[in-house]
Amino acid sequence: MMDLPLEGITVLEFSQYLSGPSAGLRLADLGARVIKIERPIHGEAGRKLSIKNLWVDESSLLFHTINRNKESFAADLKNPDDIALVKQLITRADVLIHNFRPGVMKKIGLDYAAAADINPRLIYAEITGYGKDGPWREKPGQDLLLQSITGLAFTTGNFTNGPVPFGIAIADILCGSQLVQGIIAALIRRNKKGVGALVEISLMESLLDFQFELLTTYYNSRQQPKRSHTNSGHTLLGAPYGVYKTADGYIALAMMDIGVLAETIECTALYGFTNDHAFAQRDHIKALLAAHLLTQPAQHWLQRLQQRGLWAMEVFDWEKMMAHDSYRALQMEQTLKAEGKQIITTRCPIRINGRRLFSDRPAPKVGEHTEKLIREMNEVIVNKEPHAFRRYTGN
């Protein structure tokens, strides 16, 4: 067994859908014991969030991808007896995560002030959609809505496309990742000073930080960055930066000298253009280049470009990517088993001392570990042990 850095840390996850559970997943990958606090019978709402109607058991495939390697404690948070059990869990936990709307945890007596009274060393981490103050505080914190309201949808695609959202739940995943950074920082401070902390983040703040390069430009110029009309790749970069169609596929061109590019691919239409024209005449240069690249297949262009040391790559779909030796060398896939079914998913991308972090433990059933955790708490009370939980390593 690998000695993981968060071994011995217990996390209570009061979370649903993607942002909170993705944070819990990363903490679990790093060795923490993560216990999902779920409503009885139905569990958290993310269990029913299905993409392409893919299911494993009573829960969706999506749920299993971000809730592997966790335990489940079923509790009705409107029931005083269940709240009492949850408070016992809090007394011996290191971290509490929730992504409920502002005010929800306070209504049930589990806001930061109440939790800190129970356990002053607790790291209390919460995700909101738009922060706890301001007129948008009650708006639904949904990824597409956040991409839209923060202007992110105007950074992708061509100018003529209108707003184009990312094809993934970027706000949720990014916010979960940043929450983990805050939690680990707070744990380090607790180790030095012996105090807990309130760690707060919102989906909106995550997406604003994600756009720091573009927003910094806007703050200082008050000019809205504009996508190029064709082959757009980055609003702040000039030609040829973008993705181009060839005779049989697509290639991506990054930053490069226009004169060297023109010579390398023998594009006479670009002769005479220099880097001074890269932004001022971005659309015109890209249109000329796009027409030229259509005349030959992708490998013809890539061979020339890469031999010259210019930054160019083929654009792969997942089938092509997975067939490549570079992908296989990373060993990014891992297999889980749930209800007799195999689930292939990605592993944690972090390596520690050269070792990859794999975990084949599937997501729990609703309340699967409730009785076990209650027994552990009772044993602690009888034996007066200082800490309730060790990492769960079996069924």
What is the residue extent of each domain of the chain? 10-210+333-383, 242-322
Question: What CA–CA distance (Å, rounded) separates 230 from 287?
Answer: 7
Question: What CA–CA distance (Å, rounded) separates 151 from 322?
Answer: 33
pLDDT score of 7 more than 50 = yes
Q: Of 89, 98, 10, whose CA–CA distance to 377 is shortest?
A: 89
pLDDT of residue 360: 86
Which residues are the active-site residues?
172
Question: What CA–CA distance (Å, rounded) separates 348 from 28?
Answer: 10
Specify the 3-state DSSP secondary structure of 53: coil
Query: In CATH terms, is domain 242-322 a member of 3.30.1540.10?
Result: yes
pLDDT score of 338 more than 90 = no
Q: Please provide the DSSP assignment of 128-155 as one string.
A: ESS-SSSTTTTS---HHHHHHHTTGGGS
pLDDT of residue 145: 96
Q: Of 291, 287, 292, 275, whose CA–CA distance to 237 is shortest?
A: 275
> Domain 10-210+333-383 falls in which CATH fold?
Rossmann fold (3.40.50)
Higher-pLDDT residue of 320, 393? 320
Long-range CB contacts (< 8 A, 24+ apart) of 139-145?
Answer: 141/19, 141/99, 141/101, 141/202, 141/203, 143/18, 143/169, 143/170, 143/171, 143/172, 143/203
Residues 336 and 343 sit within 8 Å (Cβ to Cβ): yes
- Helix and strand numbers (H, E) in the chain are 15, 13
- pLDDT by residue (tens digit) across 261-320? 999 999 999 999 999 999 999 999 999 999 999 999 999 999 999 999 999 999 999 999
* Fold matches, 10-210+333-383 and 242-322: no
